[in-house]
Structure 1
Amino acid sequence: MKIILAEVNDLLRKSLSFFLGSKGFEVDQFDNGKDALEAIKTHEYDIILTDINMPGINGMEMTQYVRTVLKHQTPIIIFTSSNIEQTELDSFDIGANEFIPKPVSPAVLLVRMNKLLKQVN
């Protein structure tokens, strides 16, 4: 399974990448939305994990682009440190499959990822 992880926080990105790699996933990691979106345009991923607040292209813009321009149905999980309910609702409105508040629990993330991957397959 190939995953893209776009997360601005270095420690979180590296720790999630290590954790997911230890579970057998191949992880491409990026610290900004622009580079992550370029990778999505040229590679196939089984799941997209993205922070909502990133420089350049944020997670919401990336999700919207994947759904409306690329027309991909790849499962998308959005992370955020925002505890504003409207942000979560907006994420679902533009096509996110899951929304996980930070701090992200790797175990919870893995359960939600596996649930989404089973729905797709």
Structure 2
Amino acid sequence: MREQIDVLIVEDNLIDQKLIANYLGEYDFSFKIVSDGHEAQILLESHSFFLIMVDLMLPKIDGFELTKIIRQKLKLEIPIVAITAFNINEVKDKCFAAGMNGYFSKPIQKIELVGMLTQFLPKEKLKSGDQYAYEVIDLSYLKEVSLGDKEYEIEVIEKFIETIDQDLSELQQNFAEKRGEEIKMIAHRTLSTIYIVGLRSKLETSLRSLENMDVSEMGSRLNCIQAICNKAKAEAKHFIDSVKQK
């Protein structure tokens, strides 16, 4: 039976290896780091993974060639995420064409790394010693800037709940009154509100799409935004309660 490991990182830079290991070490899942594509290929023949992160510039077998081996020779559909020092706009099309599922750039930022984990790993894998695995919100950025200040975290989350309540109320009111321009202004403002709780990837497209819609077309999009925000508020309140109980 193939041994199951959660994440495979293929990275030859020792500093980046240590950085990724420190970030991943906060979570309750297993990972393996190898330095080149040949080591990765051998490991993939005997182990199963939920996610592969691969540097594009590897010795001997680069990230593109390794992806080709994984897809065509090993016949594996494991999500593959590129790690690159290149300008993203210069390589993203090539990444997708090679069979990759995502990418993030160097220098490696924790918020981007956790975003990829959230996107591709099963949710139950994302629990850590002090962080509940929320379905909607992602508090990685908040925890990074708070430097462990729990009072600050509570203050920010309480402000998020207050502000998003106001934004949602104004969106619905202006929709009822068919005031499209006001809706677009509020939607643009809401983009700033959602960033601190990691909702950008879930709501940015919907909020920006309102800028190009007639008010008569906005109903279903607003309902979707409302549903995600209501779930985010519930999770934010859970976070506050959990911090206060400690």
For normalisation by structure 1, the TM-score amounts to: 0.89
Paired letter, 1:2: D
Whole-angstrom distance in 2 between the partners of 1:18 and 1:24: 13
> Is 1:92 the counterpart of 2:86 in the alignment?
no
1:73-84 map, 5 Å? 73-83=77-87
Change over 3 Å in CA distance of 1:28–1:84 after alignment to 2: closer
Q: 1:2 aligns to what? A: 6
| Partner deviation per Cα, 1:63-96 (whole Å, 9 max, x = no partner) | 1111111111111110110116342211101110
Greater fraction of residues in helix: 2
* 1:118 CA drift (Å): 4.8
Match of 1:29, SS state, is strand
Describe the SS at the equivalent of 1:56.
Answer: coil
Structure 2 portions without partners, runs of 5+: 124-246
| Structure showing the higher strand proportion among its residues | 1
2:73 to 69, 83, 93: 69
Give 1 or 2 for the bigger CA radius of gyration: 2
Deviation at residue 8 of structure 1 after TM alignment:
1.3
CA separation in 2, counterparts of 1:84 and 1:78? Answer: 10
Question: Per the alignment, in what secondary structure is the counterpart of residue 35 of structure 1?
Answer: helix
- For each residue in 1:29-80, what CA deviation from the matched residue of structure 2 results, as whole angstroms up to 9, or x when unmatched? 1111111121112110110011000101111111111111111111111011
Relative to structure 1, is the Cα distance of residues 84 and 75 closer, same or farther in structure 2, using a 3 angstrom cutoff? closer
Q: Does the Cα contact within 8 Å between 1:7 and 1:32 map onto a contact in 2?
A: yes
- Paired amino acid for 2:54: T
The answer as to whether partners of 1:75 and 1:117 remain within 8 angstroms in 2 is no
User: Which 4+ residue blocks in structure 1 deviate beyond 3 angstroms?
Assistant: none
Distance 1:108 1:83 in 2: 15
1:110 aligns with 2:114: yes
Q: State whether residues 67 and 73 of structure 1, in contact with CA within 8 Å, keep that contact through their aligned partners in structure 2.
A: yes
Q: Which amino acid aligns with 2:71?
A: R
Partner residue of 2:44 out of 40, 44, 52: 40
Contact 2:88/2:104 (<8 A) preserved: no
Task: Indicate the percent of aligned positions where both proteins have the same amino acid.
Answer: 26
User: Is structure 2 residue 28 aligned with structure 1 residue 27?
Assistant: no
Structure 2 counterpart SS, 1:11? helix
Answer 1 or 2: higher relative contact order, Cα 8 Å, separation at least 6. Answer: 1
